[in-house]
Amino acid sequence: MSPRYLPYILILPVTLFLCAFFLYPFLLVARQAFLSDGGYSLQNFRETMGYWKFSISLQNTMLLALAVVPVQVSLALLMATMVSRMKKGRDLVLYIWTIPLGISDLAAGIIWFAIFEQSGFLNSMLTGLGVIDKPAVLLGYQNPLLVFIAIALAEIWRATAIMLVILVAGIGLIPKEYYEAAEVFGASPWQRFLRITLPLLRPSLQTALILRVVLAFEVFAVVVALGGTLFPVMMGQIYSYQFDLQNAGGAAALALVVLAISIAFTLVILRALRVPKGATI
Amino acid sequence: MAEIQIKNVAKAFGSYTALHDINLTIADQEFMVLLGASGCGKTTLLRIVAGLETATTGEVWIGGRRVDHLPPKDRGIAMVFQNYAVFPHLTVFENIGFGLRMKKLPEAEVKRRVERTATLMHIEQLLGRYSGELSGGQRQRVAVARALAMEPDVILMDEPLSNLDALLRLEMRAELKGVLAESKTTAIYVTHDQVEAMSLADRISVMHQGRIVQADKPVAIYRNPAAEFVAGFIGNPPMNFLPADPRGDGKWMVAGQVIDGPTHSGALKFAIRPEDVKLGDHGLPATVRLVEPLGAHLLVTCDVGGTLFRAVLDSDLSLKLGDTLTLTPQGDRQRWFDPATTLAVA
Ligand SMILES: Nc1ncnc2c1ncn2[C@@H]1O[C@H](COP(=O)(O)OP(=O)(O)OP(=O)(O)O)[C@@H](O)[C@H]1O
Ligand SMILES: [Mg+2]
């Protein structure tokens, strides 16, 4: 067999798999998004994007991502640097820090709901300490900011570890000789972080950021558990079009909107963190 | 003034002792070469001086200041790493200027120094490239330029020219020596190339298995090796050794010949460099085993009393295998070693 074709033959099975289970359904969804009343049009997009809840849920989704992702990046970088410096017990710490990864997002939402609800953990603690005299409704329409904070906290708790894992692996790949050279040539620990770790971590940061940002746009279960209908987000809208309103075309259109936003952000991240041509990292 | 003193430095990695009780003083502006076989601890010693490794015991002083608790950047040193450690995400210019920018020198000064050292290392046309776009030898010169640009009191170089071709190495060697002499820098230079060591060094420290066996001027190391190891390590081909039996009163029986030597109890080893024997009427009887023409000379490997013995002889001689010769050792070049201690006996 000609070696020229070998690579293509080897990737054939996975290509077929992806076509059957990703590309084909995706094309179906795309078709559905543009199909209404038996013809192709932008009707579904006009309808869903014109609805009053669209802008508020888009805004909420963006705000949440904006609040959560930078905190997660900073935390993950800090934790990854700390873990990488540890000589002993580093695996144990890493396992503990990544426990939230093993918990589904709905379960995570429920855990945090148990903390914040009226008969929950936080209320009992505050009353027990005498800070408040009786349990308060924390996650109600009266406290939109608190709802937002609770959701952001749950998201940070739940999904920082995925970045951490990627960044720890990335930092592990940076040869220690670069740090030694930087140290000899006068770089302080902070300068070493800025001038060696960050630039050499760009490929891992790219991956971690793209993953997190895209997942942040898909936030759903945590929001449902903690905010219910108080905090509409994009995924919630898609869900209600599909299942409450039985409007599959509308759901498909919104799904494509989220996809477009995700792609746009991915491109921005790739561009912002690109490695200069010729530099091998 | 940057005299380096290494006092009783030892280094253990777990149960393995890489350095045993090293004592070495390197004078201000001296060019000291550390010479030794692979794995003898050269890099480890250099890293201890640099502050990248902590000595298990002992002290390091630079310029009259005890530095072993100071971080590398406060020791007034620059270093050329054995594996270069040229930053892959920075251009050659940024690499050479890295330390200068850390010191917050004005940008004009950074540019001036980067260009000067790059020209010196013949890499001025590569300033815009990344390290991934350089050859091994070019990368190595970037590493040297980066250290030189710092204009440090002390420069530590770990095999800085090992990856250059012979011609370029010769040229760089001369330039390096010139620049360092001009800038009055104290240098420690690691190599396992003895020719390089001989040509560059003010003094050579020969290391063996984590110890400094001898530290002296190149000629002294060559002429008066302090130990059998040095005699066998320095010189190509190395020194010849023959067993010597005592005959009393400083007389020794070497390969059936009586030779004058030191007074010493017990057996000794007689040693002589291959170029320090002549063909003569009396001396060591030798049978030719191999003749290798080296151009100016003949390298003749013989059998002397059952021991292999090399002699460098005039290339006009016509010798063939099995010929018997009489080799006369030059009297003032004979050396004696005690096999029990492996040290030289005067
Ligand atoms: N971090 C370390 N952990 C354990 N052993 C080490 C470590 N660094 C060096 N060694 C050991 O110490 C000894 C000396 O190593 P070193 O790197 O100083 O040798 P070297 O003289 O520089 O050799 P080369 O000429 O090959 O560079 C070696 O046997 C090496 O295996
Ligand atoms: Mg070494």
CATH number of the domain residue B8 falls in: 3.40.50.300
DSSP state of A117: S
pLDDT of residue B236: 87
Q: Are residues B194 and B252 in the same domain?
A: no
Residues B259, B292, single domain; the answer is yes
In three state form, how does the secondary structure of A201-235 look? CHHHHHHHHHHHHHHHHCCCHHHHHHHCCCCCCHH
Q: Which two tokens stand for residue B43?
A: 């890099």
Answer yes or no: is the ipTM higher than 0.85: yes
Per-residue pLDDT tens for A56-93?
999 999 999 999 999 999 999 999 999 998 888 888 99
Is A185 near chain B, with CB under 8 Å?
Answer: yes
Look at ligand 1, atom 26, and give the residue with the nearest C-alpha.
B38
Chosen domain end from B213, B232, B251:
B232
The percent of residues above 90 in pLDDT, for chain B, comes to 79
pLDDT band at B318 (very low <50, low <70, confident <90, very high): confident
**Residue B265's pLDDT band (cuts 50, 70, 90):** confident
Contact pairs from chain A to chain B, CB under 8 Å: 68
What pLDDT is recorded for position A36? 84
Determine contact: A183 vs chain B, CB below 8 A.
yes
Residue B201: inside a domain, yes or no? yes
For residue A177, list chain B residues with Cβ-Cβ distance below 8 A.
81, 83, 85
DSSP character at residue B81: B
Residue ID of nearest Cα to ligand 1 atom 25: B38
Residue ending a domain, among B216, B232, B248, is B232
Structure tokens at B110: 């950074």
pLDDT surpasses 90 at A154? yes
Question: Could you tell me the distance, in angstroms and rounded to a whole number, from the CA of residue B23 to the centre of ligand 2?
Answer: 19
C-alpha torsion B231→B233→B238→B242, nearest 10: 50
Q: B282 and chain A: CB distance < 8 Å anywhere?
A: no
Q: Count Cβ atoms below 10 Å from residue A24 Cβ, excluding itself.
A: 11
Domain co-membership, B178 together with B295: no
Per the domain annotation, does B194 fall within a domain? Answer: yes
- Do residues A132 and A204 make contact, with C-beta atoms less than 8 angstroms apart? no
Cβ count within 10 A of residue A262: 17
The C-alpha atoms of residue A252 and residue A26 are separated, in whole angstroms, by: 10
Is the CB of residue A190 less than 8 Å away from at least one CB of chain B?
A: no
Statement to judge: residues B228 and B213 lie in one domain: yes
The DSSP code for A241 is: I
- Based on the domain organization, do B121 and B144 belong to the same domain? yes
Q: How many domains does chain B contain in total?
A: 2
Average predicted confidence (pLDDT) for chain B: 93
- Tell me what pLDDT residue B286 has: 94
Count of CB atoms situated within 10 Å of the CB of B79: 31
Among the partner residues A191, A200, A279, nearest to B102 by beta-carbon distance:
A191
Q: Is the pLDDT confidence value at A126 over 70?
A: yes
Q: Are B66 and B59 in contact (CB under 8 A)?
A: yes
Answer yes or no: do A183 and B52 touch at CB < 8 A.
yes
Q: Is residue B342 part of a domain?
A: no
Tell me how far CA of residue B116 lies from CA of B113, B125, B126, B199, in angstroms.
5, 12, 13, 25
For residue B9, the model assigns a pLDDT of 96
Ligand 1 atom at shortest distance from the alpha carbon of B13 = 4
Is the confidence at residue B282, as pLDDT, over 90? no
Q: Do the domain assignments include residue B330?
A: yes
Sign of the torsion angle spanned by Cα atoms A249, A253, A258, A263 = positive
What is the rounded radius of gyration, in angstroms, for the C-alpha atoms of chain A? 23
| Rounded Cα distance, B61 and B186, in Å | 13
Beta strand pairing status for A35-36 and B324-329? unpaired
The H or E element containing residue A142 is: none
Q: What is the CA radius of gyration of chain B?
A: 24
Supply B164's token pair.
């250059």
Nearest CA in chain B to A192: B102
Burial of B1 (0-12, 13-18, 19+ CB in 10 A): exposed
Q: Do B226 and B269 have their domain in common? A: no
Q: Whose CA is nearest to atom 20 of ligand 1?
A: B39
- Digit-coded pLDDT (tens) for B174-215: 989 998 988 899 999 999 889 999 999 999 999 999 999 999
C-alpha span between B287 and A210 (Å, rounded): 78
Q: How far is the CA of B82 from the centre of ligand 1 (A)?
A: 12
Ligand 1 site, residue B210, Cβ cutoff 6 A:
no
Contact list, A197 vs chain B (CB under 8 Å): none
CA atoms within 13 A on the CB side of B65: 11
The confidence score (pLDDT) of residue B112 equals 97
Query: pLDDT tier at A1 (50, 70, 90 boundaries)?
Result: low
Contacts B88 to A, Cβ<8 Å: 178, 200, 279-281
What is the distance between the alpha carbons of residues A102 and A159, in angstroms, rounded to a whole number? 10
Ranges of each domain in chain A? 1-41, 55-109+145-272
Contact A208, A168 (CB under 8 A): no
B283 and B168 belong to one structural domain: no
Q: Which residues 102-141 in chain B show a CB within 8 A of chain A? A: 102-103, 129-133
Smallest Cα distance from B270 to chain A, Å: 46
- Ligand 2 centre to CA of B112 (Å) is 32
Domain membership of residue B131 as a residue range: 4-232
- Domain spanning A55-109+145-272: which CATH class is it, in words? mainly alpha
Strands B4-13 and B268-272: what pairing? Answer: unpaired
Predicted confidence at residue B46, as pLDDT, reads 96
Nearest CA in chain A to B80: A181
| B1 pLDDT above the threshold of 80 | no
Q: Does B44 sit in the ligand 1 pocket, CB within 6 Å? A: yes
Which strand (E) or helix (H) includes residue B27? none
Distance B7 CA to ligand 2 centre (A): 21
* pLDDT one-digit tens code per residue, A179-211: 999 999 999 999 999 999 999 999 999 999 999
Closest CA relative to residue B201, chosen from B217, B220, B179:
B217
Q: What's the rounded Cα separation, in Å, for the pair B309 and B332?
A: 19
Q: Are residues B75 and B52 in the same domain?
A: yes
**B50 φ, ψ (degrees, to nearest 5):** -75, -25
Q: Is residue B116 part of a domain?
A: yes
Question: Looking at the domain assignment, is residue B69 inside a domain?
Answer: yes
Query: Is the domain of B103 the same as that of B209?
Result: yes
The CATH code of the domain that includes B246 is 2.40.50.140
Same domain, B252 and B223: no
The answer to whether residues B269 and B243 touch, using CB atoms and an 8 Å cutoff, is: yes
DSSP string of B117-168, one letter each residue: HHHHTT-GGGTT-BGGGS-HHHHHHHHHHHHHHT--SEEEEESTTTTS-HHH
For residue B93, tell me if it sits in a domain.
yes
- Best mutation target among A173, A178, A183, A184 (most B Cβ atoms within 10 Å) is A184
Tokens 């934790």 belong to: A79
Helix (H, G, I), strand (E, B) or coil at B1: coil
Is residue B210 located within the same domain as residue B301?
A: no
Query: Given a cut of 70, is residue A144 above it in pLDDT?
Result: yes
Bridge-based pairing state of the strands B268-272 and B57-62: unpaired
Q: Please report, for residues A17, A27, B233, B241, B316, the alpha-carbon distance to residue B297 in angstroms, rounded to integers and kept in the order given.
A: 74, 83, 21, 21, 8
Asked whether residue B273 is domain-assigned, the answer is yes
Which amino acid, one-letter code, is at B205?
S
- Of the residues B189, B204, B232, which one is the last residue of a structural domain? B232
B245 contact A CB<8A: no
